[in-house]
Structure formats: C-alpha cells, structure tokens
Amino acid sequence: MEISFRGKRALVTGAGKGIGRATALALARCGSKVTAVTRTRADLESLVLECPSIEPCPSIEPVCVDLSDWDATEQALKDTGPVDLLVNNAACAKLQPFLDVTPEQFDQSFSLNVKAALHVAQIRVNSVNPTVVMTEMGKIGWSDPGKARSMTSRIPLGRFAEVEDVVNSILFLLSDKSSMTSGALLTVDGASWPAENLLRTC
C-alpha cells in the first residue's frame, strides 16, 4: 500500500529521538515538508543530516524549542504557516517505579492537548497507543530479560513493539487511506488485552 504526502506540510514534536525522529524521517521520505520540533539542538542537526534532501528545498525544517515554555514555543513556530499533518509525539519517560514518583514529577509528566472538533473544522484526530517500544529509552528500561518477561508474557505475540510498528500506524492514520477514521485509539500492543476483555469482544 503506497502512501504519499507530497504537497503536505507536517509538524512533528519530540522529533529528536525514538518514535518522533523515525516519524519525521518517514514523512520526509513520503514527500512531506516536515517541521521537526525538539529541545536538543544536536538531535536536530543529526536529523537534518540523516534525512534525504528533496528538491527544490530541504525536506526537514528544524525548530529547537522546549514545548513546556509556551511563550518560546509560540515565538519559535509563529512563521511555520499552515500545517496539514500534526504528530503530537513529545513526551518524557520516568524509569523509576510508579510508587516512587514524586508529586512534582507527576505534575510535570502531563501535557495539555487541544484538539479541534471534527464537526467544526473537519480535522481528524486519532491516537496511537503502543505497548513498550524498543527505542533507545525502551532498551534502557526493558533490556533485562527477567524484567521484560513480566510484560512480554502478557503479549500473545511474545515481544515488544519496534519503532517501525508504531511509525507505520502513524503514517496510516495520517494518510487518505484512513479518511473515514477519526476519534480512534489504535493499540499497537500485540493484542496484550486481559483475557476477559478478549472474550467479551468475540
């Protein structure tokens, strides 16, 4: 199934590493002009070097800003222009056990997503919800076989997701191939549902 984004403008947050970086590169390879947003300049520089150039202009426009700073973000993106595709990927990971997370850390781990209503603006909004993904951060947290087994034993496919598994789902939802899909929560988890939920859906 061929997917093309030629003539489209995309904005990807958290584009410096992991899923965001792979998504930005995939969109560029599919012909989109990509605004790649992340807070680490070195990641942006290496991303631009990795991306194939698409004539007549570079396919990735880097924007270095910390999205937690609203004023700086507004200033950094004010000249971006209309965006056809938005991948709101920026996030942070907490590797310590949940019960050890402090209230301050908990408060900082959430971001507000403002979504335009389909009925008002004809904007499709979907969510991709993966299991553990083997990004560099994922490998740090889940490379220990004993720890990983506690999670993979609940996944019928017997493995964690690879970055490409998530990126392919994102590309599908952004494309015209899913033009009647909105409000979907697409799980990329190897069917790791509790058994009682699986039986209820059959």
pLDDT in tens, 85-97: 999 998 766 666 6
Average pLDDT on 170-176 reads 96
Instruction: Identify each DSSP E strand in 8-126 by its residue range.
Output: 9-13, 33-38, 60-64, 85-87
Give the Å distances, CA to CA, from 62 to 39, 121, 153, 175. 10, 27, 40, 23
Instruction: Provide the 10 A C-beta neighbour count for residue 11.
Output: 24
The reported pLDDT for the residue numbered 50 is 86
**CA pair distance 142, 6, nearest whole angstrom:** 37
Tell me the per-residue pLDDT of 28-40, one tens digit each, with 9 for 90 and over.
999 999 999 999 9
- Tell me the whole-structure pTM to 2 decimals: 0.82
Closest alpha carbon to 129 in 170, 168, 185, 171? 185
Check: CB of residue 113 under 8 Å from CB of residue 89.
no
Structural domains of the chain, with CATH: 1-93 (3.40.50.720), 115-202 (3.40.50.720)
